Amino acid sequence: MVIGSEIRKRCHVNTNEEGDRFVGIKADSDDVVVYFPVGYHLPENETDIKRDILHLFQVLAEFTDSSDRVLAMNKFEAPQSVDFPINAYLEVIYYFMEKNGYYMETEPIYKTRDRGNIDWSKTIQRQRALIQSNFSPVYTQYTVRESTPNENKLITHIHRHCVYESFSKLGWLFTPYMPEPPQIPLDIKRFIIALNDKLATTYNDKDKKLFRSMKAMLEYMDEKPSVKQFYFGTDYFENVWEKLIDRVFGIKNKKDYFPRTRWRLQKGKHKEKYPLEPDSIMIHNDKIYVLDAKYYRYGISGNPDHLPDSSSINKQITYGEYIQRQQNLPNESLYNAFIMPFNAAKNYFGITAPFGNIGEAVGDWKGDTFYYERIQGIVVDTRYLMYHYTGNSKKSIIALAESIEKALIENNGVLPQTSSE
């Protein structure tokens, strides 16, 4: 696969509309398209775009599993699984570029030298000693042990196949260079047996990682021998969005914040039902923030129809009411928010920071007495979030807390009047 220099034209930021929800990579023997999630701001230069593509693959690999990696087909077709082992392909490329060549094992060779790594057993067998007056032998020449790379070993040929396959699919992300074709025919079953033997006898962690990656590639090639297309990604990026929000902002143990329900039956045992589970609970400065991650289009479209609906609003109020009653919190210690994607570089609201408040949702059945009854609508820059899910999240947590509290503080806790428009 040869990709031209205008890589940006092969990148698409989806709209999350019907038929435009896939996030990941779709490719065939002639072309490739990389699909980014709603709100993603693509860089202008090719180097940064390539870095963002690789980072997108990293996010998808970490936050999706086999149930997420499914393409939704039309109603007459079964969903299509997306099991392309992208990390294995990338590992083979990384190893090749780091080593500047193929995996090779060395073989010992023995030569006669006057210095070097002496093999005394072979020296005594092969070299003639001079006998001194005290009858002790002296050697002027030794049999020394050297090593030479053996490029004809099967494991090297297997690596050649995997390098060529990896570069043919993903090498364009790194270099226009294309390795030479393999030197022996592809024999997947034989290659996998050889790799299993290597994995059983190798103790070098880097080599074992390479062998596992090569094996995963070969198993994929064995399952899809005639398929030129390959996909990696998901039609359900909303699951990734939820996990990203929870990773950056959420506490690990949030079970104490789940409203639970049960049936008290006239006959038989009482039946407990599954609790309502908020997406994330954030705690900052002894304040609790109930977060609902919504991978909705409002941050891009500005269309109110693309905001969370009544059931989501009422559910958030229920979470807040439950936590307030359980912990008897003061009003200023409990907040509610929807977290939606947007593009900080280009948006309907004129927001330039990674976080912004776009309004609030309320329920007519509540009196708006408590802050948690006013669910703040927060937009988060998609690219920012994807690059900040690792490391220390403190700055991001502070920024989100300020965005949630800002409207309430600016209005002194008084609900803004409903617009007449």
Residues 384 and 293 in one domain: yes
For position 134, what pLDDT does the model report? 81
Query: Is 342 inside a domain boundary?
Result: yes
Q: Domain for residue 403, yes or no? A: yes
Same-domain check for residues 216 and 275? no
- Asked if residue 41 lies in contact with residue 381, where contact means CB atoms within 8 angstroms, the answer is yes
Return the pLDDT at 84.
82
**Is residue 2 in a domain?**
no
Rounded Cα–Cα distance for residues 145 and 120 (Å): 10
List Cβ neighbours of 140 (8 Å cut-off, separation of 6 or more). Answer: 114, 130
Q: Please check whether residues 121 and 226 belong to one and the same domain.
A: no
Domain housing 128: 107-150
Round the CA-based radius of gyration of the chain to a whole number and report it: 30
Model pTM greater than 0.85?
Answer: no
**What does pLDDT average to over the chain?**
86
Decide if 275 is inside a domain.
yes
What CA–CA distance (Å, rounded) separates 160 from 153?
11
Within 8 A by CB and 6+ apart from 284, the residues are: 397, 398, 401
Are residue 225 and residue 307 in the same domain, yes or no? no
Residue 303 is inside which H or E element, if any?
Answer: none
- pLDDT (tens place) for every residue of the chain, 421 residues total: 445 457 888 899 999 998 899 999 988 766 789 999 999 999 988 899 999 999 999 999 899 876 666 554 444 344 455 578 888 999 999 999 988 899 988 767 777 888 888 888 888 888 888 888 887 888 888 888 876 666 678 999 999 999 999 998 888 888 888 999 998 999 999 999 999 999 999 889 999 999 999 999 999 888 876 566 788 899 999 999 999 999 999 998 888 788 888 888 888 887 877 777 888 999 999 999 999 999 999 999 999 999 999 999 999 999 999 899 888 888 889 999 999 999 999 999 999 999 999 999 998 888 778 999 999 999 999 999 999 998 888 999 999 999 999 877 765 555 444 443 3
Is 165 a member of any domain? yes
DSSP symbols for 174-196: T-S--PPPPSS---HHHHHHHHH
Q: Which amino acid is at 379?
A: V
Residue with tokens 């064995």: 222
Amino acid identity of residue 355, one-letter, is: F
What pLDDT is stored for residue 195 in this prediction? Answer: 95
Query: Six-digit token pair at 28?
Result: 């065939």
Looking at 234, 256, 274, the residue that finishes a domain is: 234
Residues 179 and 289 in one domain: no
134 shares a domain with 251: no
Q: Cβ(170)–Cβ(90) under 8 Å?
A: yes
Report the distance separating Cα 44 and Cα 345, nearest Å: 12
Task: Determine the Cα–Cα distance for residues 339 and 304; give it in Å rounded to an integer.
Answer: 15
Q: What are the angstrom distances between the C-alpha of 37 and each of 17, 53, 61? A: 11, 12, 15
Q: Which one of 234, 254, 277 terminates a domain?
A: 234
pLDDT tens for each residue of 326-362: 888 888 899 999 999 999 999 999 999 999 999 999 9
Segment 274-318, tens digit of pLDDT: 777 888 999 999 999 999 999 999 999 999 999 999 999 999 999
The dihedral built from the CA positions of residue 388, 390, 392 and 393, taken in this order, carries a sign that is positive
Shared domain for 116 and 183, answered yes or no, is no
**Counted domains in the chain:** 3
Say if residue 137 is in the same domain as residue 246: no
Residue 416 lies in a domain: no
